[in-house]
Amino acid sequence: AAYDAGHDEL
Amino acid sequence: MNVFRLVGDLSHLLAIIILLLKIWKTRSCAGVSGKSQILFSLVFITRYLDLFTNFISVYNSVMKIIYLVTSLGTVYLMYFKFKATYDSNHDTFRIEFLVVPVGGLSFLVNHDFTPLEILWTFSIYLESVAILPQLFMISKTGEAETITSHYLFALGSYRALYIVNWVYRYYTEGFFDLIAIVAGCVQTILYCDFFYLYITKVLKGKQLKLPA
């Protein structure tokens, strides 16, 4: 999922 | 990182720099919506709270700091240093009509019901509508300075490039974030009529005038 790695986009 | 996202980030940075230089050099914020600039600052503040807790890369951290400093600097120039040139009579969009629904939606539709994630979601939804006061102001004045239209073109292009980045990431990494994608599409669609005017008028050397 998008968030567990922390959002990597600005 | 991919070229679409990199060019998108640089387009975003270019937009912010264009606006900052326009206000600084002309010592005037005529034609610029201070309300949109406040919303953009709020977008960056709520999105980059993880600046010190979640290190992604030097590039990511440096860009976050640049966005925060430049957007807050723009708000400072507009509401303090060059306050006399701020056109509050035309900058009348009720931003509470944006912040409240976006705030509610970020509680209802998010990836994770945690403070940081809800604030990130709020930031994504808010960014998609943050340009509305600016577009509303231009529709009220019926025109925009050429430099302001370049600012808007760069700003609108950034999220359009991010959409390409998301397509690219979907096919190469299988990554996709529906909240960011849907909000990004809404955000880019809001620029469509401006893009049309920019390409048909400004690029031909004409002044950006909205059909009365």
Write the pLDDT tens digit of every residue in B142-192.
999 999 999 999 999 999 999 999 999 999 999 999 999 999 999 999 999
Query: B211 in a domain, yes or no?
Result: no
Contacts of B77 (CB under 8 A, 6+ apart): B20, B23, B24, B29
Tokens 């509305």 belong to B132
Residue B116 CA, distance from chain mean position: 20
Give the CB-side neighbour count of residue B13, counting CA atoms within 13 A: 14
Tokens 């010190």 belong to B52
Q: How far is A1 from chain B (nearest CA, A)?
A: 8
Among B177, B178, B179, the strongest candidate for a mutation testing the A interface, having the largest count of A CBs within 10 A, is: B177
Q: In chain B, which stretches have pLDDT less than 70? A: 212
Query: B114 in a domain, yes or no?
Result: yes
Specify the 3-state DSSP secondary structure of B212: coil
For chain B, how many structural domains are there in total?
Answer: 1
Query: B208 in a domain, yes or no?
Result: no
Residues of B within 8 A of A7 (CB-CB) are: 47, 50, 120, 177
Query: B31 in a domain, yes or no?
Result: yes
- Whole-complex ipTM: 0.89
Distance between CA B134 and CA B149 in Å, rounded? 11
Domain span including residue B26 = 3-85+93-203
Residue A1: its pLDDT value, please?
47
Query: B210 in a domain, yes or no?
Result: no
Residue B189: its pLDDT value, please?
98
Distance between CA B162 and CA B205 in Å, rounded? 28
Whether the predicted pLDDT of A2 surpasses 70: no
From B47, B112, B165, residue closest to A3, measured CB to CB: B112
